Amino acid sequence: MNIGILGYGNLGRGVELAIKANPDAKLAAVFTRRNPESVKVQTESIPVVHIDDVGNWIEKIDVMILCGGSATDLPLQTPKFAEMFNVVDSFDTHAKIPEHFAKVDAAAKNSNHVAIISVGWDPGLFSLARAYSNAILPNGKDYTFWGRGVSQGHSDAIRRIKGVKNAKQYTVPIDAALDAVRSGSNPELTTRQKHLRECYVVLEEGADAAEVERQIKTMPNYFADYDTTVNFISEEELAKNHSGLAHGGFVIRTGMTNENHKHIIEFNLKLDSNPEFTSNVLLAYARAANRLHSEGKRGCMTVLDIPPAYLSALDGATLRKSLV
Amino acid sequence: MNIGILGYGNLGRGVELAIKANPDAKLAAVFTRRNPESVKVQTESIPVVHIDDVGNWIEKIDVMILCGGSATDLPLQTPKFAEMFNVVDSFDTHAKIPEHFAKVDAAAKNSNHVAIISVGWDPGLFSLARAYSNAILPNGKDYTFWGRGVSQGHSDAIRRIKGVKNAKQYTVPIDAALDAVRSGSNPELTTRQKHLRECYVVLEEGADAAEVERQIKTMPNYFADYDTTVNFISEEELAKNHSGLAHGGFVIRTGMTNENHKHIIEFNLKLDSNPEFTSNVLLAYARAANRLHSEGKRGCMTVLDIPPAYLSALDGATLRKSLV
């Protein structure tokens, strides 16, 4: 299958790596809003094309992987490019998934394409874990923990405070809460009991550290409901110790099948690179999009609509023999 | 959907419990090879029917859940009853899944039914974990650990030794091996390094304990490659302390996306009742079988062929809103 990458940041570079690891996938071109001359890709002799010229590639690309951000790029890009290509995106604004789905579904059906949205690990693999475990244990309780890893949204929120030059925020799951969940005791956990927020902040010259710390710790939704620590560090230290992209998390469902029998289903991830892992999930679902399209399926889907076998390059008989 | 239960042992009783927990499912009848008068079910006014009369129920049952054993029952029953009903089974002899699939597929296609085989947790949810994680991390290594839980096959093997009156064998994953895998070090683990085998044996009067222990510990395939402990206990103690049905296990895949970035995907289960949990998985896939049949799908499938959304009683829009 011929893959296009639209948007060449961390995610786009990750998809490029993923394509190298999957012999049935071939990178056709990288599309960018920047000056294509200024974009250096990792794969030799791959064209870098300006996004305005994407229309010339309609016959040459089986699936376009959209590597833009969820805040402003994907809400416009996914419906737009679903008119031209089979597409896969990693739209991750949970509350807006129904609205995004509706727009992309209309575009994909209108133009006879397949679109798979909200692919990654949360939403994505964590959605799968929640869906399977809810179907199997209807009488139970879900817990999702994230981290330890940088939250882009919370880091951005800190950077918007006056006097802040740069910042990184780690979401950290609290071990005691995880242990309580894994014990099967079905605890009621407050926001504060589940996660810590660890902030590393570089101040502008002359900024009031105490005031910045106060503003962070009292920020509604983002920090006020959490135990938050604020560490002021230099730009050099931030670059040296806090530019990693590691992340991970846990989805746990506990449930009963009768009054005495408790069951615990846990799915967890420990990732050295959040974007590279997400890229691999995107590529597996690009394979599914391509197959579903060739079978005549049309419209928008999420990971919940895709048979797991469609993610694999192996055929059904091989999968049954080796993995079932 | 109207469910039939064929075979009324631990699994059949578990399916009956699962039906009570799922309002969209209704138990139509229980089918047995025994004298129906001798079978007491847990649900009031549910008919218990002799298996020879199953033909009278073809119009009244949407999905028949086959609750027999994999050794001798299911290889015959699943192809046979797939001629009459949509069926779901928990066939778990991994090496014979391709052969079982072929027979069931022919029967189901011939009679326009859907059959889903090898449903449970291994095969079943563990197969899903392996398939998803292999598709996402093509350069990696799989590890499956089972337990702590009773292995029926190993307990049976001990019971066949002369001088043994009764026995239970626990498969126990070794923590050091699990820790090594979770560290991402990609260890090469021998059979002996992964699991212990813990045996509780009741001797016949006058049996030679040392000889029984020797025969267990040297039994090829079952015990010779493992560190095995043998404990001789009384029938009363076996009944009191070793009649639980708890089980569980771990599927872990570790893989790299470039030379420096390691990723660990883990799925684990901790189950108070192996048959009750398996029953809940069976019921979720019965729901999928019913839907797939009503959409015109035919033939045999495994868990890898089923979109996760089909397991849920919730519709797509609700799932997208609440679980993606």
CA distance B218 to chain A (A): 29
Q: How far apart, in whole angstroms, are the C-alpha atoms of residue B30 and residue B35?
A: 12
Amino acid residing at B36:
P
Report yes or no: A211 at the B interface, CB cutoff 8 Å: no
Q: What is the pLDDT of residue B10?
A: 95
Contacts of A268 in chain B (CB under 8 A): 266
Residue numbers of A between 241 and 260 with CB closer than 8 Å to B: 257-258, 260
Binary contact (A284, B135; C-beta < 8 A):
yes
Q: What is the pLDDT of residue A123?
A: 97
- Residues contacting A56, CB < 8 A, separation 6+: A49
Report yes or no: B186 at the A interface, CB cutoff 8 Å: no
Average of per-residue pLDDT values in chain B: 97
Which among B265, B273, B311 has the least Cβ separation from residue A257?
B273
Q: What is the pLDDT of residue B42?
A: 94
DSSP annotation of B187: -
Report yes or no: A166 at the B interface, CB cutoff 8 Å: no
Contacts of A102 in chain B (CB under 8 A): none
Record the tokens describing residue B184, joined without a space: 């991402």
Report yes or no: A17 at the B interface, CB cutoff 8 Å: yes
Judged by DSSP in three states, B7 sits in coil
Contacts of A94 in chain B (CB under 8 A): 324
Report yes or no: B18 at the A interface, CB cutoff 8 Å: yes
Query: Do residues A222 and A199 lie in contact, with contact meaning Cβ atoms separated by under 8 Å?
Result: no
Q: What is the pLDDT of residue A246?
A: 96
Report yes or no: B278 at the A interface, CB cutoff 8 Å: no
Q: How far apart, in whole angstroms, are the C-alpha atoms of residue B318 and residue B324?
A: 9
CA distance B303 to chain A (A): 8
Report yes or no: A302 at the B interface, CB cutoff 8 Å: yes
Q: What is the pLDDT of residue B77?
A: 98
Surface-to-core class of residue B191, CB atoms within 10 Å of its CB (0-12 exposed, 13-18 middle, 19+ buried) = exposed
With CA atoms as reference, the chain B residue closest to A265 would be: B269
Q: What is the pLDDT of residue B159?
A: 96
Substitution target from B263, B282, B300, B301 for chain A, most A beta carbons within 10 A:
B263
Which among A134, A257, A305 has the least Cβ separation from residue B276?
A257
Binary contact (A320, B135; C-beta < 8 A):
no
Report yes or no: B96 at the A interface, CB cutoff 8 Å: no
Task: List pLDDT tens digits, range A245-265.
Answer: 999 999 999 999 998 999 999
pLDDT band at B216 (very low <50, low <70, confident <90, very high): very high
Substitution target from A320, A321, A322 for chain B, most B beta carbons within 10 A:
A320
Binary contact (A17, B302; C-beta < 8 A):
no
pLDDT band at A241 (very low <50, low <70, confident <90, very high): very high
Binary contact (A309, B139; C-beta < 8 A):
no
Task: List pLDDT tens digits, range B246-284.
Answer: 999 999 999 999 989 999 999 999 999 999 999 999 999
Strands (E), A51-111: 63-66, 86-88
Report yes or no: A101 at the B interface, CB cutoff 8 Å: yes
Report yes or no: A149 at the B interface, CB cutoff 8 Å: no
Report yes or no: B207 at the A interface, CB cutoff 8 Å: no
With CA atoms as reference, the chain A residue closest to B266 would be: A268
Of A307, A295, A302, A122, give the one whose Cα is nearest residue B311.
Answer: A307
Q: What is the pLDDT of residue A24?
A: 98
Query: How many Cα atoms within 13 Å fall on the side-chain side of residue B152?
Result: 10
Q: What is the pLDDT of residue A214?
A: 98
Task: List pLDDT tens digits, range B128-160.
Answer: 999 999 999 999 999 999 999 999 889 999 999
Binary contact (A134, B312; C-beta < 8 A):
yes
Report yes or no: B184 at the A interface, CB cutoff 8 Å: yes
Binary contact (B138, A304; C-beta < 8 A):
no
Map B96-162 to HEC letters: HHHHHHHHHHHHHHHCCCEEECCCCECCEHHHHHHHHHHHHCCCEEEEEEECCEECHHHHHHHHCCC
DSSP annotation of A295: T
Average pLDDT over residues A154-175: 97
Q: What is the pLDDT of residue A144?
A: 97
Average pLDDT over residues B84-108: 97
Q: What is the pLDDT of residue A164?
A: 98
Q: What is the pLDDT of residue A159?
A: 96
Task: List pLDDT tens digits, range B21-62.
Answer: 999 999 999 999 999 999 999 999 999 999 999 999 999 999
Report the percentage of chain B scoring pLDDT > 70.
100
Strands (E), A72-113: 86-88
Q: How far apart, in whole angstroms, are the C-alpha atoms of residue B26 and residue B89?
A: 18
Report yes or no: A279 at the B interface, CB cutoff 8 Å: yes
Q: What is the pLDDT of residue B106?
A: 98
Contacts of A123 in chain B (CB under 8 A): 324
pLDDT band at B109 (very low <50, low <70, confident <90, very high): very high
DSSP annotation of B226: S
Record the tokens describing residue B150, joined without a space: 């009773």
Binary contact (B304, A316; C-beta < 8 A):
yes
Contacts of A267 in chain B (CB under 8 A): 129, 266-267
Q: What is the pLDDT of residue A21?
A: 96
Which among B261, B264, B312 has the least Cβ separation from residue A131?
B312
ipTM for the whole complex: 0.96
Task: List pLDDT tens digits, range B59-75.
Answer: 999 999 999 999 899 99
Of B110, B88, B92, B153, give the one whose Cα is nearest residue B292.
Answer: B88
Between β-strands B227-232 and A299-301, what pairing exists: parallel, antiparallel or unpaired?
A: unpaired
Q: What is the pLDDT of residue A62?
A: 98
Average pLDDT over residues B212-216: 98
Which among B97, B101, B132 has the least Cβ separation from residue A308?
B132
Q: What is the pLDDT of residue A32?
A: 98
Contacts of A287 in chain B (CB under 8 A): 135
Binary contact (A273, B261; C-beta < 8 A):
yes
Report yes or no: A272 at the B interface, CB cutoff 8 Å: yes
Query: What is the value of pTM for the model shown?
Result: 0.96
Average pLDDT over residues A2-24: 97
Task: List pLDDT tens digits, range B173-194.
Answer: 999 999 999 999 999 999 999 9
pLDDT band at A26 (very low <50, low <70, confident <90, very high): very high
With CA atoms as reference, the chain B residue closest to A93 would be: B324
Q: What is the pLDDT of residue B93?
A: 92
Binary contact (B273, A267; C-beta < 8 A):
no
Q: What is the pLDDT of residue B150?
A: 94
